[in-house]
Amino acid sequence: MPELSHRRRMLVLAICCMSLLIVSLDTTALNVALPAMQRDLDTTTSGLQWTIDAYTLVLASLLMLAGSTADRIGRKRVFMAGLAVFTAGSVLCSLAPNLELLVVFRMVQAVGGSMLNPVAMSIITNTFTDPRERARAIGVWGAVVGISMAAGPLVGGLLVQSVGWRAIFWLNLPVGLAAFLLTLRYVPESRAPRARRPDPVGQLLVIALFGALTYAIIEAPESGAGPVVPFAVIAVAALLALLWYEPRRDEPLIDLRFFRSAPFSGATVIAISAFAALGGFLFLSTLYLQNVRGLDALHAGLWMLPMAVPTFLCAPLSGRLVGSRGPRISLLVAGAAMTASGVLFAAFEAETSNATLLLGYALFGIGFGFVNAPITNTAVSGMPRAQAGVAAAVASTSRQLGSTLGVAVIGAVLAAGIGSSYRRTFVPAARPGWWILAGCGLAVLVLGLLTSGRWARRTAERTAASLETAEIRPAPEPASKGA
C-alpha cells in the first residue's frame, strides 16, 4: 500500500468506521426490536435467539476466509463486495414475511458482514504503520462501537415505535451506499506479498463446529438432550479434526502457530468472554425492560443509555491507554467492571431497583468500553503485517463466536427457568445467566493480568520471529538442462 497523507489516512479510517457502524448499529438496534418481532412473527425465545445467532454464526464461520481472501485478491475489492452484499441483505430482511425467511436473509447479511470488519481492520493496520498512531486509530474504531451502542437502542426504539421493526434494516441502505462510493474513490488497493491459498476442508470444519455447537445449545431447552446429542458429537469431532488437520497444512485457514503468543491467545479468549457477556447482557436486558417492566421500545432504548454512554466515552480513552501504557490497565479495568456488574445482578437482583439497575448498566458500559481496543491491538500488533488480515479475522471471529455463544447459552438458561408466569419468574430464571456473565468478566480480568506481562511479551516476540522466518522461503532452484 502506498504511503498516504495524514488527511487521506483519516479519510480511510472514517470509511472503515462506517462499515463497522452499520454492522454494530444493526445488531444493537435489532435487540430493542426483539419483543416487537416476537409478537409480529409469533415466535418463541429460541426463535428470537436464531434471529441474532443466525447472523453472528455465519459471520464467525466466514471471517477467517474473508480475511485470507482479502490478503490474496485485494482488500479493497473484498471490502466493496461486502458492502454490496450486506446492503442487499438488509433490503431482503426488511421484506421478510416470516421468521424462517428472516433468518435466511440475516445469513445473507452475514456473508457481506464477514467481508467488512476484518478486512477494514486489515486496511487500517496497513494504513497506520506507526504503533502509537495505529493504537489511536483502533481507539477511534472502538469508539464507533460505543456510538452504535448509544445510538442503536434509541434509533431502534424510535423506529419500532413509529414505523415498525422492519425500518431498522433501512438504516443500512444510505450508509452502505455512501461507504461503497467513498471506498471506490479514496481507499487504495492492497494485498499481502504472499497470501495464503484457500483451505476448503478447514472452512467446512469451522462451519460444522460453530453451527453444530450453536444448534445444540439453543435447541436443548425445548427439544431435550436426545435430539441435540448428535450435533454435540459433530461439534467435538469437527474440533478434533481441526486440531489434527490444520497443523499439517503449509497454509492453513487457522494458523495455530499464532496461539503460541500468550497475548494473542489471551486476546482471543478475552474477546470470546467479553462479547459473550455483551450478547447475553443485551438479550436479557431487552426482554426484561419490555416484557417484564412493560416499557415500549423507545423507553427501553432510553434505559440502555447508562450502559451505552460509558462505552462511548471509555473506548477512545482505552485506545490512548493502550497506545501509551500497553493493554494491561484497560483489561484490568474492563474485567473488574464487568464482573462487578454481573455480580450486582446475580447476587443482589439489580433489576428490581432503579438505582441498582442504572449502576449495573453503567458498570457494564465502562467495562465493555475499555475491553475492545486492547483486544484488537494485541491481536494484530505482534503479527507480521503480511498476515494482518488473517490475524484480524481471528480476533473478529472470536468476537462473533462470543456473541453467538452468549445469546445461545443465556437464552437457553433463561428458557429452561421461565415458568407459566413470565413476569413473575423472569428474575429468578435470569439469575444463573447473570452469574455466567460475571464469570465472563472474571475471565477478562484474570487473563488480562496473565497475558500482558513480560513473559507474555517474550512469547509474542518469539512467535512473530518464527512466523516471519516461515514467510521467507527460498525459491526452488531451476532444474539444470542436463538433468
For residue 194, the Cα-to-chain-centroid distance in whole angstroms is 27
Average pLDDT, integer, range 31-54: 86
> For the whole model, what pTM was predicted?
0.83
d(CA 199, CA 100): 31
What does the pLDDT look like over 105-123, one tens digit per residue?
999 999 999 888 778 877 8
CB 348 within 8 A of CB 318: no
**Predicted pLDDT at 464:** 73
Return the top range by mean pLDDT from 232-241, 451-460, 463-472: 232-241
What does the pLDDT look like over 195-231, one tens digit per residue?
667 788 888 998 899 889 888 888 877 777 778 889 8
| Confidence tier at 383 by pLDDT (50, 70, 90) | low
d(CA 238, CA 215): 14
Is residue 361 predicted with pLDDT exceeding 60?
Answer: yes
What does the pLDDT look like over 75-96, one tens digit per residue?
899 999 999 999 999 999 999 9
| Confidence tier at 259 by pLDDT (50, 70, 90) | confident
d(CA 337, CA 303): 19
Average pLDDT, integer, range 10-26: 86
Q: What is the mean pLDDT of the chain?
A: 84
**Residues in the chain, total:** 483
**Predicted pLDDT at 195:** 63
Average pLDDT, integer, range 356-362: 95
Average pLDDT, integer, range 99-109: 93
d(CA 348, CA 224): 31
**Predicted pLDDT at 381:** 62
What does the pLDDT look like over 386-425, one tens digit per residue?
655 566 667 778 888 898 889 889 988 998 888 777 788 8
| Confidence tier at 445 by pLDDT (50, 70, 90) | very high
Task: Tell me the Ramachandran region of residue 42: left when phi exceeds 0, alpha when psi lies from -120 to 50, beta otherwise.
Answer: left
Q: Percentage of residues in the chain with pLDDT exceeding 90?
A: 28
Question: Hunting for cell 419483543 — which residue is that?
Answer: 35
Average pLDDT, integer, range 304-324: 84
Sign of the CA dihedral running 242, 244, 247, 251:
negative
Is residue 474 predicted with pLDDT exceeding 60?
Answer: no
Average pLDDT, integer, range 449-474: 74
In this predicted model, which residue has the larger pLDDT, 139 or 344? 344
Q: For 14, how many CA atoms within 13 A lie in the half-sphere containing its CB? A: 10
What does the pLDDT look like over 126-167, one tens digit per residue?
888 777 787 778 767 766 776 776 678 888 888 888 888 899
Which residue pairs, CB below 8 angstroms and at least 24 apart, start in 352-361?
352/427, 357/303, 358/306, 361/285, 361/303, 361/304, 361/306, 361/307
- Calculate the alpha carbon distances from 288 to 183, 259, 261, 297, 439 in Å: 40, 39, 40, 12, 21
Task: Tell me the Ramachandran region of residue 255: left when phi exceeds 0, alpha when psi lies from -120 to 50, beta otherwise.
Answer: beta
